[in-house]
Amino acid sequence: MRPLAMAVLLSAALIPLNLGCASPAPAQQVLPVGSSTSIDAREPLILAVGEGERRIRRVMGGALAIIKVDRRNGGSPELMMGYEELPPGQAILAHRHPSMDEIIFVHRGTGTAELGDRKAAVGPGTTVFIPQATRVMLRNTGTEPLAIAFFFSQPGYEEYLRDTSVPDGDASPPLSNPELAVVRERHKKHIVFDP
């Protein structure tokens, strides 16, 4: 990873987070798909709690997900940051990211993380580093949402996130198993689930 990209990623991880659930925020400017990601197309962002591209997952019990920074939001060609609130009892199923590293920062709630052969309790302030191709699973074991910020070393995962969610406020019927299988096949370059 380039030094500048690493510095941005690390500084974002060290900034005190206040990412609690908030009322819907006003929409921000979103770049169209396929738009230029040159330095000129990058837009500096300061996003308050709840701001970003708000989405409701059609999996994981209708979890709230917010795409904060990616190629469309801010025009970053290298980094992706998001935020998610996993409802009690829900899990991010065991999967791998074949071509990218990920960092998860737990903001609120409690859960269990499985990383490779290791299993550990997670809570506020926990950081999980997931090298590319490492198996990971995260489960909410508490009574409140498990709120996480996640950072990827390169773009790609956000398109899977978009394909498994709808804009906040739209109807969000759960994806059927056949629909989910098609989406997973389309995004297997970025995310592969255990059988």
Both tokens of 41, joined, read 């197309």
Amino acid at the residue 185: E
d(C-alpha 48, C-alpha 159), whole Å: 23
Distance separating alpha carbons of residues 123 and 135, to the nearest angstrom: 20
Q: Are 115 and 125 in contact (CB under 8 A)?
A: no
Q: Which carries the bigger pLDDT value, residue 26 or residue 86?
A: 86
- pLDDT tens per residue across span 39-87: 568 999 999 879 999 999 999 999 999 999 999 999 999 999 999 999 9
Q: Looking only at Cα atoms, what is the longest distance across the chain?
A: 45
**pLDDT at position 49, please?**
78
Cβ-in-10-Å burial (0-12, 13-18, 19+) of 109 comes to: buried
Per-residue pLDDT at 39: 56
Structure tokens at 166: 């709808």
Q: Which has the higher per-residue pLDDT, 59 or 37?
A: 59
Report the SS3 class of residue 46: coil
* pLDDT tops 50 at residue 7: no
pLDDT value for 36? 43
Residue that wins the pLDDT comparison between 18 and 102: 102
Q: Output the six-digit token pair for 87.
A: 């409802």
Mean pLDDT across the stretch 6-24? 41
pLDDT digits (tens, 9 = 90+) for 148-174: 999 999 999 999 999 999 999 999 999
**Cα of 96 vs its chain's centroid, Å:** 14
Residue 35 has a pLDDT of 41
Token duo for residue 23: 């009322």
- The candidate with the shortest Cα–Cα distance to 175, out of 155, 194, 161, is 161
Read off the pLDDT band of 195 (50, 70, 90).
confident
Mean pLDDT of the chain: 86
What's the pLDDT tens digit per position in 78-134? 999 999 999 999 999 999 999 999 999 999 999 999 999 999 999 999 999 999 999
pLDDT tier at 10 (50, 70, 90 boundaries)?
very low
CA-CA distances (angstroms) from residue 182 to 48, 112, 176? 34, 28, 10
What confidence score (pLDDT) does residue 6 get?
45
| Residue given tokens 């737990």 in the structure block | 106
Which CATH number applies to 81-195: 2.60.120.10, 2.40.110.10, 1.10.260.40, 1.10.8.420? Answer: 2.60.120.10
Count of positions (residues) in the chain = 195
